[in-house]
Structure 1
Amino acid sequence: MRTRDVLKTVGAIAAVAALTGASAVPAGPAPVALPDEAALHEQLWSAPASARSAPSAATATELDLGAAVDAIVAAGAIGATARVEVGDEVWADAAGTRGLDRNPPALPHSPFRAASNTKTMIAALVLQEVAAGTWSLDTRIGDVVPGIFPAHPDVTLRELLSHTAGTPYGTDLLLLSHIDDPTSVEESIAVLGDRYPDAEHLAAANAGAWTEPGGFVYSNVAYVALGVALEAATGEQVGDLLRDRIWKPLGMHSTSYPDAPGMRGNALQEAMWDGATWHDLRHFDPSFFSHAGAVVTTTQDLSTFTEALVTGRVVPAELLDDMLTPVSDAPMAYGLGVYRVPDPCEPGAWLYGHDGGAMGTVSVGYTSADGERQVAFAVTGRDASGAATPLYDLNALLVPMLLASCG
């Protein structure tokens, strides 16, 4: 768990509040180590439509699902773990290995870096504080943590949760502040092992270009800010809040909020393909994502969480509609820390959840609106080459999983 001193962090934020773009973030191209998040999202969002357009008689048997997990590894992924739940029925499988050394094998219960699936959990904590009367969704971030965004104190918690505050993505700016040559693969990969205090995330964002509030701009730094706000308001660290308020009550015993590099035990180790070379990412420091993506979990725990969320066991019912109702429809139907995609099993219905694009892992966790069906997977060995034909097609696994969830 994190050992950050909350007061020290808030003090550091105040110290960097006056930073300007010229002094904090070098100009130039995006670091080569950053995969294309927009391309990832577009690919994953197309899976439900592909599943829905499949012939009505099409089903995905257990044999088909096992073959799909094997095939994504055969195509180039290092490891994969997948899970489909339909009522009390569960299918879970894994293929490949836990790391680049091709040994030992990946397991159905292998933990993985969940990346932006963390955002849904952070949003749940924020809504719990709203339910408790600490804040409203229209509370200004500048009133919660004075000086956090000195030029934009009026952005609200609702805007930060829905990526409509105008905050920049932030992660690209953060990485640029640690490297001299953004075209150097080696340097970009190496600095992923640096420490990235929350104050640095916020300073990079404050120095970057903001957009007008109201428009959807996917932002990691928005969730870093929400995490800082939670710590300032509660006096507790985000990892402890997640453990005590969500993971323990739901029995998510394999989920954690690491504060140091390395994946422990039977976890899936991360690696990135740049089109020519594999890069081992065991040195990756989770502070690079912080509150926007530090969580490590399993497909079982992620499914437990998404089911509990939509059935009102995490966020009070009176706020759940606010969370699940999209604030924006383009490019994605995003609510407050969660988005929806068409349910291929029930015309007019939706699946709710999130995806996670870590530097070396891609993951997804979706649930049906009634909480009866869940799909979750993680694939390690992320292809960041940007090639027209990637190493493997994530939807070659996700589409049959979605079909299988239809029963």
Structure 2
Amino acid sequence: MVLAVSMSAVLVSCSDAGPSDSTTSVAKNTSVVGRLAGLAQKAADTGSLGVIVRVESPSGRPLAIARQASWTKADHHLEATDQFRIASNTKTVTATLILQAVAEHKIQLDDSVETWLPGLIHNGTNITVRMLLNHTSGLGDYLLTPDFLPTLTGHEKRTWSPEQLLAITPRQNPEFPPGEKYSYSNANYAALELILEKATGKSLADLIDKKITEPLEMKDTFLSTDAAFSPGKPHAVGYEPDAQRLSTILPDDLNIPEGSGFVGPERPHGNVETAAIDVSWSGAAGGLVSTAADWQRFLTALMSGKILPETQMKEMLTTVPAPEEGGGYGLGLMKVETPCGTVWGHTGGQPGYSSEIYTDTNGRRSAAVLTTTNFGIQEPKAARANKALVDATICAMLDKPYPAESDAPSS
């Protein structure tokens, strides 16, 4: 799930040697491969720490690159096929399942939340399923609240139910009427999980297996129930800034207790390894583990019309203004305007893992950039390098030239 924070510190380069050399390409010309590999290594050395880049187009076999800061190789040699916590990209799957239930006449988008979850959500009579899906409900977010922060950072091991997460969800400050504007909140998808399971009589995990991963043969994708990845399957190792660095990244108005930081083994350059933090609480809002290839398979199938009927796909692509996401937000899907054109997909962030995965409008091309830190790329220098990589990857996906160096973000 997206952990949106403001940025106030500049990260010193974290590399102490040359690039990791996991690169595969058949379809792309050498200049594109070289540019992406160089930008990926620069991002890794500037604060992203580890980066997986994968591009698919109709013209040939996928391009896949993995780069990492040299010191991280002692923990794991990153590969483009590694499993990864794709976090809030999960929301697109959840929205797809809701829309499938709509097509089956089990749910209506204009149903009130109160109809499905009586007494559970403040102002639920005026909030609809559609508003939950496109984040216009007016619900706040539990993610960085004092009640939840110890779980997020790994200091407290606790299993949270969606009902419990909704119970600690604060009011928006200032509040706004449901349906008035976009404001991203993971609480929306905690509520959708309950509605989906109530409407279908099946668990979220079962619905994902039967309706998404099994039909699409996504063999490396599953819903987390603990901190583990698939046995015997290599997975990316995630990192976050230590408490001292984190204090310079988080905005002061969050009132985070002094000394708060992520639990995990200390690593060089003020980092903490976070791969063992249990994020099973994220459920329908961000609980899926996947790979770049698996997720691109899902997104391209979705955008090419292979999963949802035309009517429901049209609803999914109907957006509300969401400038903070780079364009608009539909039903579990972001519309992002980039230097090379419009793309659709989502972003995700959890302790140690950040991702941006997109397709073109027709689902014929896709691009993924997976990064082994989330808060670490909130620091200005790291953010610029990461954005340059994402922009260049999208341009490569669309077979368009990367903007001139003078127009690209500087480091």
The equivalent residue for 2:185 is 219
The equivalent residue for 1:177 is 147
1:276-355 maps to which residues of 2 (within 5 A)? 277-331=270-324, 332-342=327-337, 344-345=339-340, 350-355=342-347
Structure 1 counterpart of 2:168, which letter? A
Bigger mean CA offset, 193-202 vs 319-328: 193-202
The equivalent residue for 2:236 is 268
Distance in 1, matches of 2:81 and 2:70, equals 12
SS at match of 2:75: coil
Q: Scaled by the length of structure 1, what TM-score is found?
A: 0.77
The equivalent residue for 1:63 is 34
Asked if residue 143 in structure 1 is aligned to residue 115 in structure 2, the reply is yes
Bigger mean CA offset, 285-294 vs 113-122: 285-294
SS at match of 2:189: helix
Distance 1:109 1:188, change over 3 A: closer
Displacement of 1:343: 5.7
The equivalent residue for 2:18 is none
| Aligned mate of 1:111, from 83, 95, 105 | 83
Q: Deviations over 1:64-107 (max 9, x none)?
A: 22222222222233321111111152101112289956333111
The equivalent residue for 2:203 is 237
Distance 1:361 1:392, change over 3 A: farther
Q: Deviations over 1:197-239 (max 9, x none)?
A: 2222110116675532121110100011101111122221111
Structure 1 counterpart of 2:289, which letter? V
Contact 1:60 1:400 in 2 (8 A): no
Q: Deviations over 1:280-302 (max 9, x none)?
A: 22332223322111111111111
Displacement of 1:386: 5.2
1:13-24 maps to which residues of 2 (within 5 A)? none
Displacement of 1:114: 0.6
Distance 1:258 1:387, change over 3 A: closer
Distance in 1, matches of 2:71 and 2:237, equals 5
Distance in 1, matches of 2:366 and 2:377, equals 30
The equivalent residue for 1:253 is 219
Distance in 2, matches of 1:388 and 1:406, equals 27
Q: Deviations over 1:346-377 (max 9, x none)?
A: 5xxx2111111212111011101111211112
| Aligned mate of 1:381, from 362, 373, 396 | 373
Structure 2 counterpart of 1:92, which letter? A
Distance in 2, matches of 1:150 and 1:396, equals 41
SS at match of 2:355: strand
SS at match of 1:375: strand
Could you tell me which runs of 5 or more consecutive residues in structure 1 were left unpaired when the two chains were aligned: 1-33, 40-57
Could you tell me which runs of 5 or more consecutive residues in structure 2 were left unpaired when the two chains were aligned: 8-28, 246-268, 400-411
Distance 1:171 1:255, change over 3 A: same
Distance in 2, matches of 1:98 and 1:118, equals 30
Contact 2:53 2:369 in 1 (8 A): yes
Distance 1:235 1:363, change over 3 A: same
Distance 1:277 1:288, change over 3 A: farther
Q: Scaled by the length of structure 2, what TM-score is found?
A: 0.77
The equivalent residue for 1:399 is 391
Distance in 2, matches of 1:193 and 1:393, equals 34
SS at match of 1:94: strand
Distance in 2, matches of 1:391 and 1:162, equals 26
The equivalent residue for 1:5 is none
Structure 1 counterpart of 2:365, which letter? R
Contact 1:351 1:366 in 2 (8 A): yes
Contact 1:352 1:369 in 2 (8 A): yes
Distance in 2, matches of 1:78 and 1:116, equals 20
Q: Deviations over 1:228-256 (max 9, x none)?
A: 11112222111111111011111211111
Distance in 1, matches of 2:106 and 2:162, equals 22
Displacement of 1:384: 4.2
Distance 1:364 1:83, change over 3 A: same
Structure 2 counterpart of 1:94, which letter? A
Structure 1 counterpart of 2:155, which letter? V
Displacement of 1:113: 0.6
The equivalent residue for 1:203 is 167
1:152-163 maps to which residues of 2 (within 5 A)? 152-163=124-135
Displacement of 1:132: 0.4
Distance in 2, matches of 1:98 and 1:131, equals 49
Distance 1:383 1:168, change over 3 A: closer
How many residues align? The count is: 346
| Aligned mate of 1:87, from 58, 62, 78 | 58
Bigger mean CA offset, 156-165 vs 66-75: 66-75
Distance in 2, matches of 1:402 and 1:203, equals 39
SS at match of 2:182: coil
